[in-house]
Amino acid sequence: MDMIEQIISLALFEDAGLGDITSESILPASHKGTGVITAKQDCVLAGTGVARKTFHMLDPGMDIRMIYLDGDVVQKGTVVLEATGDLLCMLKGERVALNFLQRLSGIASLTKTYMQTLKHPRVRLTDTRKTTPGWRLLEKQAVRAGGGSNHRFSLFDGILIKDNHIAVAGGIAAAVEAVQKQASHLMKIEVEVSDMDQVKQALSAGADVIMLDNMSCAAMKQAVGYINGRALVEASGNVCLERLNDIAATGVDLISCGALTHQAQAVDLSMQIFPGPDNSQQ
Amino acid sequence: MDMIEQIISLALFEDAGLGDITSESILPASHKGTGVITAKQDCVLAGTGVARKTFHMLDPGMDIRMIYLDGDVVQKGTVVLEATGDLLCMLKGERVALNFLQRLSGIASLTKTYMQTLKHPRVRLTDTRKTTPGWRLLEKQAVRAGGGSNHRFSLFDGILIKDNHIAVAGGIAAAVEAVQKQASHLMKIEVEVSDMDQVKQALSAGADVIMLDNMSCAAMKQAVGYINGRALVEASGNVCLERLNDIAATGVDLISCGALTHQAQAVDLSMQIFPGPDNSQQ
Amino acid sequence: MDMIEQIISLALFEDAGLGDITSESILPASHKGTGVITAKQDCVLAGTGVARKTFHMLDPGMDIRMIYLDGDVVQKGTVVLEATGDLLCMLKGERVALNFLQRLSGIASLTKTYMQTLKHPRVRLTDTRKTTPGWRLLEKQAVRAGGGSNHRFSLFDGILIKDNHIAVAGGIAAAVEAVQKQASHLMKIEVEVSDMDQVKQALSAGADVIMLDNMSCAAMKQAVGYINGRALVEASGNVCLERLNDIAATGVDLISCGALTHQAQAVDLSMQIFPGPDNSQQ
Amino acid sequence: MDMIEQIISLALFEDAGLGDITSESILPASHKGTGVITAKQDCVLAGTGVARKTFHMLDPGMDIRMIYLDGDVVQKGTVVLEATGDLLCMLKGERVALNFLQRLSGIASLTKTYMQTLKHPRVRLTDTRKTTPGWRLLEKQAVRAGGGSNHRFSLFDGILIKDNHIAVAGGIAAAVEAVQKQASHLMKIEVEVSDMDQVKQALSAGADVIMLDNMSCAAMKQAVGYINGRALVEASGNVCLERLNDIAATGVDLISCGALTHQAQAVDLSMQIFPGPDNSQQ
Amino acid sequence: MDMIEQIISLALFEDAGLGDITSESILPASHKGTGVITAKQDCVLAGTGVARKTFHMLDPGMDIRMIYLDGDVVQKGTVVLEATGDLLCMLKGERVALNFLQRLSGIASLTKTYMQTLKHPRVRLTDTRKTTPGWRLLEKQAVRAGGGSNHRFSLFDGILIKDNHIAVAGGIAAAVEAVQKQASHLMKIEVEVSDMDQVKQALSAGADVIMLDNMSCAAMKQAVGYINGRALVEASGNVCLERLNDIAATGVDLISCGALTHQAQAVDLSMQIFPGPDNSQQ
Amino acid sequence: MDMIEQIISLALFEDAGLGDITSESILPASHKGTGVITAKQDCVLAGTGVARKTFHMLDPGMDIRMIYLDGDVVQKGTVVLEATGDLLCMLKGERVALNFLQRLSGIASLTKTYMQTLKHPRVRLTDTRKTTPGWRLLEKQAVRAGGGSNHRFSLFDGILIKDNHIAVAGGIAAAVEAVQKQASHLMKIEVEVSDMDQVKQALSAGADVIMLDNMSCAAMKQAVGYINGRALVEASGNVCLERLNDIAATGVDLISCGALTHQAQAVDLSMQIFPGPDNSQQ
């Protein structure tokens, strides 16, 4: 099972692992049904694949028509998915599929708002590792669905030297050197700095990317000027819609924004399920 | 592994399952460190136990002092947890522990806001099944930490007869009877209704709890009057801070509110980590 | 994997996880065969679904005809299931499928005996949590197949306050109150009592169900009279075929009986397998 | 996790995986308690190790005193195990530990009865593969605790050529030869036969062990005489207490008996738990 | 999941569990492709089944044509397998499938070299437990594909009494007796000895197989003469191509050789993949 | 469980998951012992950590003294690890621990040979993804223990555009652009090329690293000259000890070599175990 199947599996288990006592008491075996998922507010969709997989993990033969896909902008009232299959499986998967779709579409929609606000197409807006535990891959996809970019996925697929590393290594230069020796040649090295002095050290140590952490726009502008294209520059910390263009105007290449994931709220989608005629002769 | 260990395990794996290339390149083996988690805004805490367990799954010997616990109201700047142990484990667990704490404290804090708004102590405010897939148990605990109550945990520990069940069974009475036959005598039976006619059917069928779904306050008031204590009454649908007291004033016993979990946003907590002196001689 | 797939998987692994050295040495690849499962004594069937799933986990394409289903009463010599598929898979699954069927049909048959003995149709006969570890769901289904009812499935889907809880809480009233505060409104509260004084306390504390534990029929009759319909009454402890009707005659609503599961013995079913012609050209 | 930890883990999960709502509502955090397990009837113990492991999987620090061990004969009223540790863990493990102990001691006790009946010390009485799915290792240990011997554990650690294998191979000689070629030199080869003609074929094919399946005592006696020590002889099928010594008197070396596991009933053991004083200050 | 599926699953996870960032950035959804695996040097094939299963775990519908099977001798340039299916799955499985095939064919090829060298058809050449952790079943199959035989699979399906066991038991006779009492009657007993005195003890204790460990050819010859057919004799230790026939000439029945698995090197096989036309309309 | 614990767990299971029938028949419960692992030939150690973890997974309290660590060069006869603990656990872990150590030290030793042969300290010698399925992390550590460097770990932590990607994308430029859009800014982009024309395209497309696949030394030299420091250059294909310095002399920055892992053979290490006195009173 890959990471996404693991979180779906956990979710199905916590909701219906020991059965659905209401439905199982009432439904005859192998009753069919049809369900439609409808957006109850305008939004950018994300999680359509995980919704489909949720139903397929319960009923591999369920017939699912994906009317809209991740990244599509849909309006209130739009039907986004239609499914026909085992009714009991549909009832067991309904809440889980919706819970995925609602939160992921919330992230995609919030990201889209940021992207539409951002008036500097040259600047890349990225997520962070401030994601819902267990959902990293899904939330990173939702950010892309909303037009944003991804920062590193985890601690093992990207290098970011922070204050602790610098303290232990005995300085930025020593930290960078230690990492260069161990890491693969396909990895760039990013260093987090908080003032101009550290910017200079990071640059001379050979950092590929310099993260300006919680610095004022004025200080960031000065840093960008000093770096002058010799490294990519990332702004980080306290990024919100209001400050977005001011930060971008400092000339940074990247803005990373935890709010894309941790401030997103669910958008409203609902599912209507229509029981078919009884056909319980298997 | 219980459900909570499973989601922690998944979260640790997605963030550091193949290692932390930055830290592992720089840190000597078995370096100790100390970390403190601080609230960066006023909030109600939740997730302190899962934060502790996160660190203990990485370093079972980590010494963790829980200064505040779930349900405690803390102010910006308060230190809520102190840990001393293996530095590499602390760095690997930091983000995961914070991601849990931030979201769960967000839910507890939002629930507290609802509870403080609600001026009818007789009315129980409950969550729903609109929780983050994989987090059901944790989010239900966070709701309680904020002073709210829990609705059923899942499809197997509570009975709720909805429109689909009624349609398949051929009426409310038939649905209730089917469930009574199958379910344990320790389960109450709740029926979801949307108008006065259904209220009457549910009551005469023997429902223990009647859920008024998306009904106006006027209609709910009328239903409560009709039921007159013969069943518990739950209001559901479109519950928000603004309508909360109006709904409560109809006389219902319970108000269930998906927003407690799906509209909560992370509160800000951060962790500062202080490397100890090098002592890598195991 | 749901709970049932987990126990099947464990069972298949312990019997053939590293192969079937006899069959693999002799059988050509992809040899087909046909098998029939026959009852060797009169019994009530249970476990037919788990038998089918056992074979399907080994050979998803096996063609299985379910001639009789759970709850059916079959006589010695009756063919209950016919399967056609990969011969090696059939040989690997044979013993496991039979072991499930034999024990579960034993439980269903014993339950049926109890139900036929019980002359008070008003009284519900239930199982307990004294089930075979790992088999809870299956044995509860077998009890229903035999005409019995299920008590709570586990510690998380039903409330039962016992002497330890009362001791720690400081009395029945305090225990009931503590549980009412925490548990969902869909849960009834059952209290285990052993004498008349406790019956009174439980009733006044608001217990929905009162379990009379190991009390004499005379004492139970008195308790039922006192309770007088204000709570459901369950008789528990030392329930056997001989005492069944005497207990029922006391007026209790429920009788719970561990013997349904822990005193059941396997009924005899066997499988005959007929190798088809060699067709090992895949 | 080894096989035994897997079945314990499944059992704990099905009973308390999502919590114990009664105890968790009432017990303060980290309350201690003491429990004693007592035999309620005379029996041979088995499962003491799995009972201990059950509690240790919940509370690794629980202090468990094993007063009697597997194979010990204890009388009604004997205390067999004492435990002191976290009260909540004890309550969660109680039923699971007892369910293991009761069934396994039932098997050990039944085996002991067979062994005491058997008056031919030269003959080895063995179990079969007719065990509770998921419990193979545990039930085989219980048979040994009762004084019996184990047949092969599974399809991969012992060779047994049956009618199907013979049919596919085209005869006993061909089947034996095919297995000799594939199997390790540490495996003996057993052939199941049902008449004298097959006995002769098996012997001349080089079988190390010959299983006489469902043959009359007279026929078995004749077979034993013919074989005359050139192979071990096992009697199988329809073995019960009444026929035991008659079968043994035929001169066979081994008697295999499915009843040891599939006809065993739980013996009665119970646990009393005494809550300690509240000490919930961690 | 059986043991082989577990190792494949682990392998797929470590290589592509979080995705294939290159391919996923470039390939449209559901692009088809065709791949062919070709031997780049003469070899004996092994692992063809595991290669197929690797692709099928990623794309159950992949159409795989097995042109050559385990045990087939193929020459440089031979196409051994052709697959058509989802291109992304093929790219994700390519390296894993090849890594399995290359190492397993290396073992089969080395075993074949040993078998062709060995000029005593009466002598059985076996592997040992010196296999790649996690690969036991696969490497044992590869040895058979190369014409060799298998020793015991593991510690639970064959008995081998070594010096430690003898030391603890207090002598060879005591060790053999202890094992005879516990083990199933289908197990032969092998004793490892290192000099003539131990040979005698093992034989008189009733050993079925005697392993001569690291003895000179002269000493082995003497032992074989002494044993004179009363037990099987296995030569072990320091077995290499050069000594093979000298050892066989001593008259031993079996030669066990760790080098078959731990000295094998990968043979070269490669896969060419041809993207089909874009057809991403699912 | 992290990836390394998973492969250890699989290995322990396949060797002793159902027990060690020899040792368990002979050893009293809780017998202690001491073991020493000794190098039987000169080698570079790797796998010392996994050996320790193997024993600790069986007996968490085993006292293990690591005398030499990964990367240490030891000579024949050197004791590298000493352990004292439960004798049965030691016997169960012995073969698995040695199998890990032997293969991983083989890789470290072979890598060391390559590093000592390589006379261009400026050039980095890396491994590939041609590793033993399930062992990726361990073999990459072993390469570093031998002084080599690691290429990307998997398909998700490094970008490598190959011919298939180029074909689907419609050219190198399009492929690079597609990847740049999707991948994190911390990833460098490597392109595999096979002739000078592709070198030019890759460079102008913005490749960070160019892999020269199976090119002659002359062609590589020309490519290096053309690239002239504008990208890192990696030589790949047909790398062996003989060609190593010729390849390095072309001026490439990196040489990747599958042989480090797939041509490595086990080095010889053995374990001697000394049973302590019987102390089976728990």
DSSP chain F: --HHHHHHHHHHHHHHTT--HHHHHHSPTT-EEEEEEEESS-EE---HHHHHHHHHHH-TT-EEEESS-TT-EE-TT-EEEEEEEEHHHHHHHHHHHHHHHHHHHHHHHHHHHHHHH---TTSEEE--S---TT-HHHHHHHHHHTT-B---SSTTSSEEE-HHHHHHHTSHHHHHHHHHHHS-TTB-EEEEESSHHHHHHHHHHT-SEEEEES--HHHHHHHHHHHTTSSEEEEESS--TTTHHHHHTTT-SEEE-THHHHS--PPPEEEEEEE-------
**Residues of each domain in chain A carrying CATH 3.20.20.70:** 115-262
Question: Minimal CA–CA distance to A224: which of A240, A248, A245, A242?
Answer: A248
Does the annotation count B208 as an active-site position?
no
Beta partners for E274? E34
Buried b (16+ CB within 10 A) or exposed e, B106-134: bbbbbbbebbeebebeebbbbbbbbbbbb
CB burial class (10 A; 0-12, 13-18, 19+) of residue E124?
buried
CB-CB neighbors (< 8 A) of C264 in chain D:
265
Nearest to D18 among C33, C156, C263 (CB): C156
Q: pLDDT digit string (tens) for A218-265?
A: 999 999 999 999 999 999 999 999 999 999 999 999 999 999 999 999
CB contact under 8 Å between B158 and C186, yes or no, is yes
Asked if residue E282 has pLDDT above 60, the reply is no
pLDDT 10s digits, F9-38: 999 999 998 899 999 999 977 799 999 999
What percent of chain B shows pLDDT beyond 90?
A: 94
Give residue-wise pLDDT tens across range B186-209: 999 999 999 999 999 999 999 999
Subunits touching E (CB < 8 Å, at least 3 pairs)?
A: A, C, D, F
Is B19 near chain F, with CB under 8 Å? yes
Rounded-to-integer distance, Cα C228 and Cα E8, Å: 64
- Chain E interface includes C19 (CB < 8 A): yes
> Which residues of chain F have a CB within 8 Å of the CB of E168?
26-28, 31, 87, 275, 278
F213 is catalytic: yes
Instruction: Tell me the per-residue pLDDT of A127-139, one tens digit each, with 9 for 90 and over.
Output: 999 999 999 999 9
Q: Could you tell me how many CB contacts below 8 A there are between chain D and chain F? A: 11
pLDDT grade, residue E280 (50/70/90)?
very low
Q: Which residues make Cβ contacts (< 8 Å) with residue A50, sequence separation at least 6?
A: A4, A8, A97, A100, A101, A104, A138
* Model pLDDT, residue F282: 40
C-alpha distance from D57 to closest chain B C-alpha (Å): 10
Contact with chain C for residue A18, Cβ under 8 A = yes
* Tokens describing residue F270: 């053995």
> For an interface test with A, which of F126, F180, F184, F188 has the most A Cβ atoms less than 10 Å from its Cβ?
F184
**Where in the sequence of chain E do the CATH 3.90.1170.20 domains occur?**
3-108+265-275
F17 touches chain D (CB under 8 A): yes
Which residues of chain A have a CB within 8 Å of the CB of C67?
Answer: none
**Averaged pLDDT of chain F:** 95
Residues A156-183 have pLDDT tens digits of 999 999 999 999 999 999 999 999 999 9
- Neighbour subunits, B (≥3 Cβ pairs < 8 A): A, C, D, F
Contacts of E159 in chain D (CB under 8 A): 186
> Would you identify the CATH topology of the domain C3-108+265-275?
Aldehyde Oxidoreductase; domain 3 (3.90.1170)
Helix, strand or coil, per DSSP, at residue B79: strand
Q: Does A274 touch chain C (CB under 8 A)?
A: no
Check whether B29 has a pLDDT greater than 90.
no
Mutate to test the interface with E, among D161, D179, D186, D233 (most CBs of E within 10 A): D186
Check if B187 contacts C (Cβ < 8 Å): yes
CB within 8 Å of chain D, chain C residues 108-147: 129-137
Q: Is A280 on the interface with C (CB under 8 A)?
A: no
Q: Any idea which fold E115-262 has?
A: TIM Barrel (3.20.20)
CB contact under 8 A, D184 and E253: no
| For E124, nearest residue in chain D (alpha carbons) | D185
pLDDT in tens, B220-235: 999 999 999 999 999 9
Say whether residue E182 is in contact with chain D using an 8 A CB cutoff.
yes
Q: How many CB pairs under 8 A join C and E?
A: 11
pLDDT at C146 over 60: yes
Nearest to B271, CA basis, from B23, B14, B39, B9 = B39
- The string of pLDDT tens digits covering residues C56-99 is 999 999 999 999 999 999 999 999 999 999 999 999 999 999 99
Residue D281 in this model has a pLDDT that exceeds 60 = no
| Cα R_g (chain A), whole angstroms | 23
pLDDT in tens, F124-145: 999 999 999 999 999 999 999 9
Q: Which of B20, B52, B72, B130 is catalytic?
A: B130
Identify the pLDDT of residue D282.
40
Picking from A1, A9, A18, A96 by the largest number of C CB atoms within 10 A of its own CB, the best residue to mutate is A18
If contacts are CB pairs under 8 Å, which of residues 244-273 in chain E contact chain F?
262-266, 273
What would the pLDDT profile of B44-56 be if each residue is shown by its tens digit? 999 999 999 999 9
- CA B265 to chain F, closest CA, distance in angstroms equals 26
pLDDT of C29 > 80? The answer is no
F219: closest CA of chain B, how far (Å):
35
Which one of B13, B23, B25, B110 makes the best mutation probe of the A interface by having the most chain A beta carbons within 10 Å? B25
- Inform me whether the C-beta atom of residue D28 falls under 8 Å from chain B C-beta atoms: no
pTM: 0.94
Band of pLDDT at residue D279, cut at 50, 70 and 90: low
CB atoms E185 and D153 under 8 Å? no
* B162 labelled catalytic: yes
Query: What is the pLDDT, as a whole number, of residue D1?
Result: 76
Catalytic residue check, E122: no
Strand D232-236, strand F254-256: pairing? unpaired
Q: What does the alpha-carbon distance between residue C3 and residue C7 come to, in Å, rounded to a whole number?
A: 7
Decide: C257 and C126 in contact? Cβ < 8 Å.
Answer: yes
- Which among F52, F136, F144, F162 is annotated as catalytic? F162
Partner B contacted by A14 (CB < 8 A): yes
**Chain mean pLDDT for chain A:** 95
Q: In F, which residues are within 8 Å of E22 by CB distance?
A: 155, 159-162, 165, 179
Which among A7, A263, A273 has CB closest to B265?
A263
Which positions of C are annotated as active-site residues?
95, 130, 162, 192, 213
CA distances from A241 to A255, A257, B126 (A): 12, 10, 33
Give contacts of A1 with chain E, Cβ < 8 Å: 9
Report the alpha-carbon distance of residue E35 to residue E93 in Å, rounded. 11
Say yes or no for a CB contact (<8 Å) between D22 and C168. no
CA–CA dist A66, A99 (Å, integer) = 17
Task: Using a CB–CB cutoff of 8 Å, tell me whether C222 touches chain B.
Answer: no
- Using a CB–CB cutoff of 8 Å, tell me whether B209 touches chain C: yes
